[in-house]
Amino acid sequence: MKSLLLILIPFLGAILSALWPSNRTRPLFLPVFALAHTLLAFWFLTRPPGFDPAAWLAFDPLARAILPGVSLLFLACAVYAVSYLRLHPQDNRVFVAALLLVLGLLSAGHQARHLGILWIATEAVTLAAVPLIHFLGTPRAFEATWKYLLVGGTGIALSLLGSICLGYASLHGGGSGDITFTALLEHGPLLSKVWVLAAWVLLLVGYGTKMGLAPMHTWKPDAYGEAPCVVGALLSGGVTSCAFLALLRAYHISVAAGEAAYVCRLLLFMGLLSMATASLFMVGQRDMKRMLAYSSVEHMGILVLGLGLGSSALFGTLLHVVNNGLTKGVLFLSAGNIHRAYHSKSTEQVSGAMQRVPLSGTLFFLGFLAITGSPPFGPFISEFLILNGAFRSGRMVVGALFLILLLIVFIGMGATVLKIVQGRPSIAARKTSYRDTVLSGAPILALLVLVLLIGVILPAPLAALINDAVRYLEGQP
């Protein structure tokens, strides 16, 4: 029950910050409550891993493996947001409160062990993110918010439908209507097959929309492109990992119901389709934030592909969730600094970022190397493990396609990134007032160090946590 604090503390922060009168000091709520959340999450990791299987919300092995990473990402974003909001003097009451609300709801989503609670948390995150995407208030931000709501709302409606189908599957198989994951898993082989398959397709489409899998990704480039970079980092590192976890739990139940072959085939297809779509749009992309959005589509594809490979790639897939979240933080936050230094996010105006903003430019470049899977960064290890899983399970074609698509993405993204960081900054860009500061640079540097650490030594506690999660998914206590 103590793990409820992970949800309640951010909610408390949201309420307090909404009541706080001063616009200037309100952003300080973010780092304070984010730090409390992170400390609490890591303190829970030192406790023994037991949890009440009948509870609706619990810090179970999956949440233990993923949530601390999300908490670290939020902490970095929170520190960064203080410097960001100083440059945007408009009213930030709703923005700060909604950010903390998102943290609380993400904690709830990661810990949900009940089909209905999981859905409600994801739905609420979708709604809480609306004022965040619309923060800048431009017509383009409005357009992005509208698309986000319409596509995301449809996705979330379909995932409710999928949850209802799964509930009916359990009822039809003789269940009592208990839709906690524990009950559904125990009940696995008895679940009505047709309904499980219907539920799986609907949940894949529904939560896949939240993750941004192709072809349901259309909201993503717009929302990530127009939202403040802090929000982009949180959406691509936190909300997507919450939606992936939802999919992971649905996968767990479908496999327990004996539908592994069908489920995995669909996952492999969606994964490759997302990677292919993303690679097509990344070649020649001129807008750096949209490029990052497509990179997010690509990595959601990698996650789903890894899941589709089954147990041989589970470790790599879960590790990649953590890596992707932290690395997306590096990329979005440094892209935000570059955006402010140039007042533009198009490669037509942005060049020579390494000269104009040396720290952010370098971090952006290193972030690019990390996300495309170059050694010695974390994503290299996890992508290599997924590739290894593909070949070990005998899926040579999938492995080969995976490699080819990664290569295309590397080339496409590399061309855009090099245009941004190399060369000489234009005269106009030299005159803007933005300079790298400690507050806007240190959080990014910290995230990059973490990504590097995972790549170089893969900390033993992290490996142990992920191994626990893998064992949990494979049904061994």
Partner 1 sequence: MNEILNLLTGLAVGLNLLALGTSRLRLLIRAVAAQGVLLGLLPLLLEHGAMDWQLVFITIATVAGKGFIIPTLLHRAMRTANIARELEPFIGYISSLLLGAAATIAAVVIAQHLPLFPEHVGSLLVPGAIALILTGFILLIGRTKAISQVCGYLILENGIYLFGLLLIHATPMLVEFGILLDVTVGIFIIGIIVDRIQRAFDSLDTRKLTALHE
Interface residues with partner 1 (CB under 8 A) are 115-116, 119-120, 123-124, 126-127, 130, 137, 139-140, 142-147, 149-150, 153-154, 156-157, 160-161, 163-165, 167-168, 171-172, 176-177, 179, 192, 194-195, 198, 221-222, 225-226, 281
CB-based contact 451:323 (threshold 8 Å): yes
**Looking at beta carbons only, is 192 or 362 nearer to partner 1?**
192
**Looking at beta carbons only, is 160 or 398 nearer to partner 1?**
160
The least CB distance from residue 393 to partner 1, in Å, is 32
Phi-psi region of 464 (alpha: psi -120 to 50; beta: other; left: phi over 0): alpha
Residue 413's nearest CA partner among 290, 319, 302 is: 290
The least CB distance from residue 217 to partner 1, in Å, is 13
Angle CA 2–38–318, to nearest 5? 90
d(CA 15, CA 19): 6
The least CB distance from residue 198 to partner 1, in Å, is 8
The least CB distance from residue 167 to partner 1, in Å, is 5
**Looking at beta carbons only, is 103 or 115 nearer to partner 1?**
115
Q: Which two tokens stand for residue 200?
A: 């799986």
| 112 phi, psi to nearest 5 deg | -65, 130
The least CB distance from residue 18 to partner 1, in Å, is 18
Phi-psi region of 103 (alpha: psi -120 to 50; beta: other; left: phi over 0): alpha
**Looking at beta carbons only, is 58 or 444 nearer to partner 1?**
58
**Looking at beta carbons only, is 133 or 233 nearer to partner 1?**
133
The least CB distance from residue 140 to partner 1, in Å, is 5
The least CB distance from residue 7 to partner 1, in Å, is 17
The least CB distance from residue 171 to partner 1, in Å, is 5
Give the CA diameter of the chain.
72
d(CA 404, CA 401): 5
**Looking at beta carbons only, is 298 or 383 nearer to partner 1?**
298
**Looking at beta carbons only, is 286 or 419 nearer to partner 1?**
286
DSSP alpha helices (H): ranges in 50-134?
Answer: 61-87, 93-111, 115-128, 130-133
d(CA 245, CA 61): 12
- Orientation angle between helical segments 460-473 and 61-87, nearest 10 degrees: 120
DSSP alpha helices (H): ranges in 257-357?
Answer: 260-282, 288-308, 314-342, 353-356
- Orientation angle between helical segments 378-392 and 396-421, nearest 10 degrees: 160
The least CB distance from residue 139 to partner 1, in Å, is 4
Helix, strand, coil percentages for the chain (3-state, nearest 5) = 80, 0, 20
**Looking at beta carbons only, is 174 or 475 nearer to partner 1?**
174
The total number of residues shown for the chain amounts to 477
**Looking at beta carbons only, is 187 or 395 nearer to partner 1?**
187
CB-based contact 450:368 (threshold 8 Å): no
**Looking at beta carbons only, is 10 or 225 nearer to partner 1?**
225
Q: Which two tokens stand for residue 36?
A: 């409390």
The least CB distance from residue 409 to partner 1, in Å, is 16
| 56 phi, psi to nearest 5 deg | -80, -30
**Looking at beta carbons only, is 220 or 356 nearer to partner 1?**
220
Q: DSSP for 1-21?
A: -GGGHHHHHHHHHHHHHHH--
The least CB distance from residue 351 to partner 1, in Å, is 21
The least CB distance from residue 164 to partner 1, in Å, is 5
* Burial grade of 286 (CB within 10 A; 0-12, 13-18, 19 or more): middle
CB-based contact 29:96 (threshold 8 Å): yes
**Looking at beta carbons only, is 71 or 159 nearer to partner 1?**
159
